[in-house]
Amino acid sequence: MRKLYTKLLSFIPDVYVRKERGATMVEYAILVALISIAAITVIIVVGEQVNNAFNAVADAINQ
């Protein structure tokens, strides 16, 4: 009976650790998604301005 109790107690922390690992993986996935969305938004907003600046420089060099 004591062995069963000991095995049960040793199993409980393993289950908790697995749940923590899963939660951590989900948190990292959410973080990566948010960073990706932010990067895409910045590229869309600033991209046209940077393109216009490069075109102005290229036009100035070609003249």
DSSP string computed for 17-36: HHHHHHHHHHHHHHHHHHHH
Question: Does a structural domain hold residue 2?
Answer: no
Per-residue confidence (pLDDT) for residue 18, from 0 to 100 = 60
Give the span between the Cα atoms of 28 and 19, in whole angstroms.
Answer: 14
pLDDT at 54 over 90: yes
Q: Which residue type, as a one-letter code, is found at position 53?
A: A
Considering the domain boundaries, does residue 46 fall inside one? yes
Above 60 in pLDDT, residue 17? no
Mean model confidence pLDDT for the chain: 82
Per DSSP, 63 falls in state -
Report, as an integer, the average pLDDT of 37-48. 93
**Residue 5 domain-assigned?**
no
The total domain count for the chain is 1
- Confirm whether 39 is domain-assigned: yes
Residue 28 covered by a domain:
yes
Q: pTM value? A: 0.51
Per-position b or e across 24-36, b if 16+ CB within 10 A of its CB: eeeeeeeeeeeee
